[in-house]
Each structure stands twice: as structure tokens, then as C-alpha cells.
Amino acid sequence: MAEVPAPPLKLRIDTDALAHNYRELDRLSGAAKAGAAVKANCYGLGVDQCVPTLRDAGAEIFYVAHWSEVAALAFHVPASSIRVLHGAGNAAEAAFAKAIGAVPVINSLHQAKIWTQVGGGLCDVMVDTGINRLGLSPPEVNDPILNNLDVDCLMSHLASADEDGEMNARQLAAFKDCITAIPHQRLSLANSAGVALGGDFAFDLTRPGLSLYGGIARPELKDVIRQVAFPEAAILQKRNIKAGESVGYNAEFAAACDMTIGVVSLGYADGFLRTWNLKGDGFLLHGETRLPLLGKVSMDMIVADFTNAPDLQEGDWVSLPYSLQNAAQQTALSQYELLTILGNRFER
């Protein structure tokens, strides 16, 4: 079989920036140690590209959501360092946890029972302090079945750490109320934004995700966190169009004058959604030079105005403006979505 040519999409990961972000979040965690949320293939950036860097920067605990995510991770870190946030919800998942040695986060009395039935072993426990997603509700923390658990980390999750407001203090108080009910080795509450809330929220272990990968979870992190993900796309074709000609589906863009345009290998199937150019002000980058988007994003292609970059040729590469705070403003997508939707046609 002939070798498959390199794809026309590249996602460059700045591993120095990733290591820097981990170390900064660990430093901001004070006496607490920072773990790393690596679910959803490291927020879309790639387990193989990111986890070795996080491990070598000092991370010792890694959070995924699904059991299907464990194997890829176990290639790089000890199974006992992998925590599965959805927990073991049935006998098959509990048996898999035992076999592979990854640690479930127990979220309900049902899960506690299942874990006990397969013989238990080290686990984490999530209590829900107001987000009403996963976790034991506060009255449940006194249930005797929990006494059978060997709990490493007792944790909860903040709903609004990226905002100021009374909810953070309310969740902190609710978490403190649960601490004595369940024997544990460590406590954990803060995600990326929670790390920036300061020492009261840090406890023993923090769980940043977004900001490891360059997300500015709170304004305090703006000058601390560096961009990690740099997507690039290849130019497929250059063409000249005349005044009055249109570009793309539904002829949404019509040229006011003769111009040179470029067709770039990037579309909504790659996570570059139409929202990037809904207001007609989207752009790609050639160095610092903006290449305005023209018309609708297609599935596999986007057209840009090359007037300001006459040197660009077919086969050259252009960059996506993926500074996450700005990109979120441009697209009305969250920084989380912008990372996790980057498609699997990118060479990582």
C-alpha cells in the first residue's frame, strides 16, 4: 500500500506552553497539587501530544470522563493515576476498573453499591454542592454504604467559578459541610477558574482542564496562561474573480471589485463552524496579516480574500485565529467548544 499523504490540516501543539500552563496552575494552587483534566482527548488536542508533557511537568492525577478513554492514557501514565469521572455505573464498568486498575469517581449510592459488590478498592467520591450534575447530594453523604469505601479524594465541582457571585462561596460552604461525613485522604474542589479564586478553594488537589490548553477561565489568568493550540490549513487553490462575481453557497459574498481569493482546506466538518463568519467579519491569518473570510463556510472548504497577501500560493499554509478569548468573542462559542470541536482530520 502506498503511504497516505500528509493531510492539509495541522494542529500544532506548543508543548512548552502546555508545560508552562501546568506549572503556573500548580503554582497558583498554592499548597495544593494540580491534577490535569484530560477528558475528551485532552479537550480535543490529543492525548499522545499532551499527556506526556503534563506528566513530565509534574501532573500525577489525570481525569477522564469515560472508561473508553482509559486505554489511550494508560499508555503514558500509571492506571492508578487515572480517575474516571462518570464512575462505575454497572457491573461491566466496575469489572473493567478492577481489571485495568483505573480509579472510579463514585457519584451515587447506586455506584457505591456496585463498587462494593466487586470488592471495592481505591476510589474517589464526588458530592454535588449545587451544580446538580453528578455527585451524591448532601443528605446522602451520611449513608452507611459509604463507610465501606476506600476514598482517596473527596471532591465537588463548581458551577460558576468563572463568574463572581455568591454561588462560589455557597458551594464552598456546602463542600466543607460534607467533609467530615466521608473519610478520605484528600480534598478537591477547583477547576481552572476555581484555581484563580484563591487558596480557600484549593484544598489538596486542583483539577484544571481548560487553562492547561490555553483557555482564559478567568481574567486573572490572562497574563499567565499561554496559547497551546495552533491550527493551520493548506491553500488548495487561488483564483481571480471579477467585480460582481459571488463566492460560495447562496452567493452570500459578491465582489465589489476584481480580486484574488484563496480556497482553504478547512470547513465545518473540521470544527470551523459557520458562526465564524456569520457577521461577515471572520478572517484567517498569514502571519499578522488578516485574510477576510468570504461567504459561507462549506463542509471542507472556506474562501478568503488574498488581496493583502499576494505572495501566498497553492500549497502554502494559513493559520486560524485561535487565541481562545478572542475566538470565543468572534464566534459566540465557548473556549471549551472551540477546543473540543477541532475535527479529527487535523494532523496532531
- Among candidates 25, 19, 345, 69, which has minimal Cα distance to 206? 25
DSSP string, 96-126: HHHHH--EEEE-SHHHHHHHHHTT--EEEEE
Nearest residue to the partner ligand PLP, using Cβ: 209
Instruction: Rank residues 153 and 235 by Cβ distance to ligand PLP and give the closer one.
Output: 153
Closest CB 322 distance from ligand PLP, rounded Å: 17
List 22, 39, 63, 213, catalytic entry: 39
How many other CB atoms are found less than 10 A from the CB of residue 211? 29
Query: Per-residue b/e over 65-97, b at no fewer than 16 CB within 10 Å?
Result: bebebbebbbebbeebbbbbbbbbeeeebbebb
Closest CB 207 distance from ligand PLP, rounded Å: 4
Does residue 296 belong to the site contacting ligand PLP (CB under 6 A)?
A: no
| 255-259 LR contacts (CB < 8 Å, sep 24+) | 259/305, 259/307
Closest CB 192 distance from ligand PLP, rounded Å: 3
Stretch in the footprint of ligand PLP (CB under 6 A) among 191-199, 257-265, 277-285, 314-322: 191-199
Count the site residues for ligand PLP by CB under 6 A.
12
Reduce the DSSP state of residue 79 to 3 states and report it. helix
Range 194-233, binding ligand PLP (CB under 6 A): 207-210, 217
CA distance 278 to 52: 38
Could you confirm whether 39 is annotated as catalytic?
A: yes
Answer for which of 107, 191, 265, 330 binds ligand PLP (CB under 6 A) is: 191
List 113, 222, 249, 279, catalytic entry: 249
Instruction: Rank residues 164 and 314 by Cβ distance to ligand PLP and give the closer one.
Output: 164
Give the alpha-carbon dihedral of 88, 91, 94, 95, to 10 degrees.
Answer: -160
Could you confirm whether 98 is annotated as catalytic?
A: no
Phi/psi for 299 (5° steps) reads -65, -40
CA distance 266 to 244: 25
- Among candidates 41, 122, 128, which has minimal Cα distance to 88? 122
User: Does residue 284 contact residue 321 with C-beta atoms inside 8 Å?
Assistant: yes
Instruction: Rank residues 178 and 291 by Cβ distance to ligand PLP and give the closer one.
Output: 178
Closest CB 193 distance from ligand PLP, rounded Å: 6
Range 31-90, binding ligand PLP (CB under 6 A): 37, 39, 85
Give me the 102-141 binding string for ligand PLP, x by CB under 6 A, dash otherwise.
----------------------------------------
Instruction: Rank residues 97 and 225 by Cβ distance to ligand PLP and give the closer one.
Output: 225
- Among candidates 10, 9, 31, 40, which has minimal Cα distance to 212? 40
Instruction: Rank residues 207 and 286 by Cβ distance to ligand PLP and give the closer one.
Output: 207
**Chain positions contacting ligand PLP, by CB under 6 A:** 37, 39, 85, 157, 191-193, 207-210, 217
Could you give the residue numbers annotated as active site? 39, 249
